[in-house]
Amino acid sequence: MDSDILASRTRIATTAQGATGYLTIDLAALGRNYRKLVSMLGPVRAGAVVKADAYGLGAERVARTLYGEGCRHFFVAQFVEAVRLRPALAQDAQVFVLNGLQPGNEIACAEMGIVPVLNSLAQWRQWSAAARILKRCLPAVLQFDTGMSRLGFPREERAELAAALRDGTNVEILFIMSHLASADDMDSEQNGEQFAEMSRIADEFPGFDISFANSGGVFLGEAYYGVLARPGIALYGGAPNAGEKNPMEPVVSLDVAVVQTRSVPAGAKVGYGGAHVTQRETRLATIAAGYADGLPRSLSDCGAVYFKGIRLPIVGRVSMDSATVDISALPEGALTFGSLVEVLGRHQTLEDIARDAGTISYEILTGLGDRYHRQYR
């Protein structure tokens, strides 16, 4: 190998600390996606869902970028995520915990200035008790179940909650909210059903601002907005509406290195269990990513990677740390040890991989492992 090429690869390997996959996160594209949603929402504020480490892309870097775009409302799922994120943001930013708090976390939450989303009378009582202990009013958000049966005050608890609010409370309600279950399907009847239920709740709890729209909800129209939308997947380049052209800009690309290439004869068994048998002489490449790195095992014998725009099908079972691809469509010698193949990028989107794996883009994005070298630009 030419000494200059070897020296260049050595510098890259040292910077990447031995990584064999390169995950690039385009923070400028993230910012443009946020601005696009803001422009659609008009006067309605746009928050950001940054749970699961900002869908696997790094919550601190993502949140700081969005803060620079004017975002001031950040939503995580669990209190531990809020604890990590809160110090990274200025004091005028608010961090909300969508799942609420487990018993015992209330005082710490209050002292850190984190806002819980209360989903039940049990959580309400715990937060009210913390306010009494601290002898001050504590902020919170109330989430109502409008038909998803996941989180939120159920219908049978609403009367008691309303009575508690009428009697006076030491909890400051910042807004009320619910979550749309089928907003990615713009024609789903459930969207209208949940809207009608949210309208009834607004009548039962008058005077409070409403937060309703998620990524898909932004595209359902202003009736679904409330005063604060909570986009998630759309920020990161995922399609907010199934079956529609994706209006968002890609944020993530992923390139993975080739570990080994070989030629095998017809009848060769490939991968665990010999699940794939070659029908002809075949040239193969093993790449350094598997299901531990976010390439689902369900991509076995149906997914693909790309090299210079040419599709290279995955053959055999995806392993924990590697996958094998058929490179017969390439000129001999075009792909060698150390070459990079495109897993996500110009030729393959999150939705493409999700479709081949029989899953959703959220799972692909959040599953990308920590063995990749992350490059922010």
Strands 276-277 and 269-270: antiparallel
Rounded to whole angstroms, how far apart are CA atoms 285 and 129?
61
Which 8-state DSSP code applies to residue 331? P
Active site (annotated) includes residue 245: no
- Token pair in block for residue 83: 């604890």
Q: How far apart are the first and last CA of the chain?
A: 30
- Token pair in block for residue 322: 């590697």
- Token pair in block for residue 246: 């994706």
320 labeled part of a ligand binding site: yes
Rounded to whole angstroms, how far apart are CA atoms 341 and 333?
14
DSSP codes of every residue in 264-318: E-TT-EESGGG-EE-SS-EEEEEES--GGGT--GGGTTT-EEEETTEEEEB-S--
- Token pair in block for residue 347: 């030729």
293: region left, alpha or beta (phi > 0 left; psi from -120 to 50 alpha): alpha
Strands 304-307 and 310-313: antiparallel
Residue 315, Cβ density class (10 Å: 0-12 exposed, 13-18 middle, ≥19 buried): buried
Catalytic, out of 22, 34, 36, 51: 51
Rounded to whole angstroms, how far apart are CA atoms 34 and 27?
11
Rounded to whole angstroms, how far apart are CA atoms 16 and 215?
33
Contact present, 33 and 188 (Cβ < 8 Å): no
Active site (annotated) includes residue 36: no
Cβ contacts of 168 within 8 Å, gap of 6 or more: none
Provide the sign of the torsion angle of the four alpha carbons 356, 362, 368, 374, taken in this order: positive
Amino acid at 340: L
262 labeled part of a ligand binding site: no
Q: Give the H/E segment covering residue 252.
A: strand 252-264
Catalytic, out of 67, 272, 362, 376: 272
- Give the residue numbers annotated as catalytic, written as ranges: 51, 272
Binding annotation:
150, 320
Binding annotation for substrate:
150, 320
